[in-house]
Amino acid sequence: MTRTILAAFANRLALPDLRLLPEEKLTPSRIRIELLSGLTVALALVPEAVAFAFVAGVHPLVGLYAAFLVGLITAVFGGRPGMISGATGALAVVMVALVAEHGVEYLFATVVLMGILQVIAGVMRWGKFIRLVPHPVMLGFVNGLAIVIFLAQLTQFKVPGTVENTGHGAGGGEWLSGTPLLLMLGLVAATMAIIWVMPRLTRVIPAPLAGIGIIAGIVIAFGLDVPRVGDLASIQGGLPSFHIPTVPLTWETFEIILPYAVILAAIGLIESLLTLNLVGEMTGKRGGASQECVAQGAANVVTGFFGGMGGCAMIGQSMINVKSGGRTRIAGIAAALFLLLFILFAAPLIEQIPLAALVGVMFMVVIGTFAWNSLKILAKVPMTDAFVIVLVTGVTVYADLAVAVVVGVIVSALAYAWNNARRIHATTYRTPEGAKVYKVQGPLFFGSSDGFAEMFDIKADPALVIVDFENSRVVDQSALQAIEAIAAKYEAAGKRIQLRHLSRDCHALLTKAGHLVVDSADDPDYALAVDYGVRTGILGGGH
C-alpha cells in the first residue's frame, strides 16, 4: 500500500526518481533507515547553518530557514535522491559584503534573482556542461572540499563567544587548552570510534546518529562542561513567514544585486552539480543536471521570499546521508522536516548536543570524502593532470570552489590544446606524376595552425602539391584561415595545391565559410574534397 501511494505521488509530481531500485523498495526497514538518516543529517545541519549565517552577517534563523526551505524543495524536486542542500559557506562568503553595505533586505532580493537565474540555466539545459569538468578537477574539488570541511571544524576548538561580542558566534574566543581541550579531543575521538565500530555491530541505527546520541547522553548524564550547540546561538523560532524584500524597485537596485546574484548562482550551480556527480558515483545513478538546476533555482526563489539566505548542495551532509543509508527522497525530506521541528519545538534539547559529537561526525566525513587514492596516482598520471589535482585542491582551500573549478577547467583545456597543437605533423612522398603529397597527421585548429604552416617548403615544392587530410581534421575558423594562407603563398609562387579527404564536419565548416565543396572520385565515403581552384583560380580539381 505504501509503495502504491508513493508511486502515485511520484506520478503526480512527475518525479521519476521515486521509482526505486530493487534494493531500495520502501519496506518498513528502508523507511526506518531513511528517517534515521534524515535525523542524522538534520542534527549536522544545525551548527553548519548557524555558523554560515554568522559568516554572512545575518541572524542564525536566516541560515536555518534557508537550510529547511532549500533542503525540502530540492529533496522533493531535485535531480538526485540522496543529495542534501542548505546554507553553505561558499555562498556566505560572497553575501557578507552585500549585507554589510546594503543590509539583509538586499540579500533576500539577491537570493530571489539568483534563483531565477538558476531556473533559466536549468530550462536552457546548461547543466549538461558540467560534463566538461575533467576528472583531475573533480579529484581536486573533492580533496579541497574535504580539507575545507576539516578546517571549518577547527573553529569548534575555541572558547564559544556570542554574536554580540564576537560577531561570529562559536569560535570567536581563544583556543581551548588544558583539560577542556583534552576533553573535547577525547569526545571527538570517541564519536569517531563509535562511527567506525557501529556498522560492525549493527546497522539498525546509522553509525553517525549512534555516535551523536551516545556522546550526547554521556555529556548530559555526567554534566560535562564542553561546548554545545546552544553556545553557538539559540535556534528557537517560529515558522518562516512570507515576506517581499523591502527594497526600492528601481534600476539602481537591480544594478546592485545583479552582480552578486550572478556570482551566487554560478557558485551554487557548480557546487550542486559537482556534488550531484559525486553522489551519482556513490549511488550508481546518472543524469538529472538540468532538473537539479531548476530545483535549486526554485528553492532559492522561495527562500528569498521567506527570509532565508539561500543555499545549494552540501557535500558534507550529502556524504553523511549516503553513508548513513539514505538513498531516496525520503531522507532529504525528513532532514528538512526534522530541522523545522528542532526550530519549533525541540530547540532546548538540540542545544544540549555537544559540538564534539558533531565535529567527530564531520571528521569521519572528511576521511571518507578525501580521495586518498589520488595521492598514489600523482606520480603515475601525466604531470599536467597531477598539477591540476594539486592546483584545484589548493585554490578550493584558499579561495572558493567556483574559482577552483574554473581555474582547473581552464588549465586542463589549455594543456589539452597545447598537447594537440604539438601533434600536428606531416609525412611526404612523391607521386609518379611528380606531385608532392603532404599527409597531415593530427587536428588542425587555432593551436596548431602555426605548426601547420611551418610544414610546407613552398620554394622547393613542385608545381603541384597535394595536402591529404585523411588522418587529420579541420576544426575551426583558424584552421580555415591557415589553409587559405598556405594557398595564397602557393599562388604567389605560381604553384597549384589540392586538398583531399576532408571529413563531413570540415565540409560543413567550409560550406559556411563560402567555399565550394565537390566530391572527389577517390575520396572515401565519409569524406569530401575541397577544390580551392574554383575560388582562387590557383588550385586544381579532384584528384
pLDDT tens figures, 296-337: 999 999 999 999 999 999 988 998 999 888 989 999 999 999
**Domain identity same for 307 and 434:** no
Q: Is residue 507 part of a domain?
A: yes
pLDDT, the chain, mean: 84
Same structural domain, 91 and 220 = yes
pLDDT in tens, 390-445: 999 999 888 877 788 889 999 999 998 888 888 899 999 999 989 999 999 988 98
Q: Does any domain span residue 63? A: yes
Q: Which of the listed residues 338, 369, 400 is the one where a domain comes to its end?
A: 369
Tell whether 230 and 252 lie within a shared domain: yes
Tell whether 339 and 400 lie within a shared domain.
Answer: no
Report the C-alpha gap between 308 and 295 in whole angstroms. 16
266 and 133 together in one domain: yes
Domains of the chain: total = 3
Q: Using CA atoms in the order 16, 18, 24, 29, what is the torsion angle rounded to 10 degrees?
A: -170
Which domain, by its residues, includes 291? 28-235+247-369
d(CA 58, CA 491): 71
Reference 522, options 470, 485, 474; nearest CA is 470
Residue 480's pLDDT is 82
What pairs with residue 158 in β-bridges? 175
At residue 22, does pLDDT exceed 70? no
- Most confident of the following: 35-44, 168-177, 367-376, 393-402: 35-44
How many CB atoms neighbour CB 178 within 10 A? 7
**100 and 212 assigned to the same domain:** yes
Give the side-chain half-sphere CA count within 13 A for 54: 22
Q: What is the pLDDT of residue 300?
A: 97
Q: Are residues 259 and 399 in the same domain?
A: no
348 and 438 part of one domain: no
Domain boundary among 418, 441, 475: 418
Q: Would the pLDDT of 532 be above 60?
A: no
Count of alpha carbons within 13 angstroms of residue 522, beta-carbon side:
7
In contact, 272 and 134? CB cutoff 8 Å? no
Say which DSSP state 228 is in.
B
Judge contact between 110 and 261, C-beta under 8 A: yes
Cell 549538461, residue located = 128
Residues 162 and 277 in one domain: yes
Q: Does residue 38 belong to any structural domain of this protein?
A: yes
User: Are 221 and 97 contained in the same domain?
Assistant: yes
Q: State the CB neighbour count (10 A cutoff) for residue 376.
A: 9
Residue 468 burial class via C-beta count within 10 angstroms: exposed 0-12, middle 13-18, buried 19 and up: buried
Residue 240 lies in a domain: no
Contact 489, 532 (CB under 8 A): no
Give the per-residue pLDDT at 506: 61
Q: Is residue 377 part of a domain?
A: no
Residue 524, pLDDT score: 41
In the prediction, which pLDDT does 172 show?
52
Instruction: Determine, yes or no, domain membership for 62.
Output: yes
Better pLDDT: 110 or 433: 110
- Tell me: do 405 and 439 sit in the same domain: no
Provide the CATH number for the domain around residue 526: 3.30.750.24
8-22, 81-95, 302-316, 415-429, range with the lowest pLDDT? 8-22
Domain end point (choices 369, 391, 407): 369
Give the torsion sign (CA, 102, 104, 149, 182): positive
Which stretches of 47-164 are assigned E, i.e. beta strand? Answer: 85-86
User: What is the mean pLDDT of the segment spanning 261-275?
Assistant: 91
Query: What is the tens place of the pLDDT at every residue in 470-518?
Result: 888 888 888 888 888 888 898 889 988 888 877 666 655 555 544 433 3
Based on the fold, state whether residues 84 and 165 are members of the same structural domain: yes
pLDDT at 503: 64
14 found inside a domain: no
Q: Is residue 20 part of a domain?
A: no
146-177 tens-digit pLDDT: 898 888 888 888 886 544 333 334 445 688 89
